[in-house]
Chains A and B, each alone.
Chain A
Amino acid sequence: MAKQVSMLKADDLSKRYEDGVLALDHLNLDVRPGEVYCLLGANGAGKTTTINLFLNFIPPTTGTCYIKGIDVTKDPLEAKKYVSFVSENVMLYGNFTARQNLEFFAKLGGKTNLAKEQYYQVMRRVSLQEKAFEQRVKTFSKGMRQKLGISIAIIKDAPAVLLDEPTAGLDPKAAEEFLEILGELKNEGKAILMSTHDIFRAKEIGDRVGIMKEGRLVMERTREELQYEDLVKIYIDYMKSEPLTA
Chain B
Amino acid sequence: MFKDLIKRQLIEDIMSLKFLINIVLILTAVIVFSLIFIKNYHNLLDAYSKSRMNNEKILMAFSKTPSSNLEYVTLYCLMEPRTERLISDAYEEKIPQGFLLTARPYLIQAKKQAEEVMYTQISKRELVSSAFSYSPDLTFIVQFLLSFFAIVLTFNAVSAEKENGTLRLVFSNSFKSAYFVLAKYVSAFITICLPLLLGLILSLILLAVLSVTPFSSSLVLNFLSFLIISLLYLSIFILIGILCSIIGHSSKMSLVLSLLSWIFLVIIIPRSSGMLLSLKRFDVPAEEEIRELAFKAEGATIARMNKQMAENSMKGFDEDRKKEMKLRLNYERNKSIQDIYDFYLRKKLSAIKTIRAINYVSPASLFEFSASSMAGTGLSHFENLWQQTRQFGNDFVSFLKDNINTLKKGSYFYPDPDSISNKPIDFNAIPKFEDKQLKLGERMRDALPYISLLVFYNLFIFIFVLYRFQKYDVR
Q: Chain A: residues with CB nearer than 8 A to chain B?
A: 52, 55, 57-58, 76-81, 83-85, 87, 89-96, 104-105, 107-110, 149, 152, 156, 162
Contact = CB atoms under 8 A, between A and B. Distances in A.
Given A93-B8, A95-B12, A105 B168 contact: no
Given A91-B165, A107-B1, A57 B12 contact: no
Contacts of A77: 174-176
Contact of A108 (B4, B12, B473): B4
Contacts of A162: 172
B182 interface: no
A108 B176 CA distance: 11
Contacts of B1: 107-108, 110
Given A57-B474, A57-B475, A107-B4, A92 B169 contact: yes
26 contacts: A52-B475, A55-B172, A57-B475, A58-B473, A76-B174, A77-B175, A77-B176, A78-B174, A80-B174, A81-B174, A87-B169, A89-B165, A90-B165, A91-B169, A93-B8, A93-B12, A94-B164, A95-B12, A104-B4, A105-B170, A105-B173, A107-B4, A108-B4, A110-B1, A110-B173, A110-B174
B122 to A, nearest CB: 60
A85 B174 contact: no
Contacts of B166: 91-93
Nearest to A78: B174
Given A93-B8, A95-B12, A108 B164 contact: no
Contacts of B11: 96
B170 A108 contact: yes
Interface of B: 1, 4-5, 8, 11-12, 15, 164-166, 168-176, 473-475
Given A91-B165, A96-B11, 19 more contacts: A52-B475, A57-B171, A57-B475, A77-B175, A78-B174, A80-B174, A87-B168, A87-B169, A91-B166, A93-B166, A95-B12, A95-B15, A105-B169, A105-B173, A108-B170, A109-B174, A110-B173, A149-B169, A156-B173
Contacts of A93: 8, 12, 166
Contacts of A76: 174
Most chain B CB atoms below 10 A, which of A57, A79, A90: A57
Contacts of A83: 172
B181 to A, nearest CB: 15
Nearest to B173: A108
A190 to B, nearest CB: 15
A199 B173 CA distance: 29
Nearest to B4: A107
B170 to A, nearest CB: 7
A104 to B, nearest CB: 5
A122 B169 CA distance: 18
B161 to A, nearest CB: 9
A107 B4 CA distance: 7
Nearest to A93: B166
B175 A108 contact: yes
Given A58-B473, A93-B166, A85 B12 contact: no
A156 B168 CA distance: 16
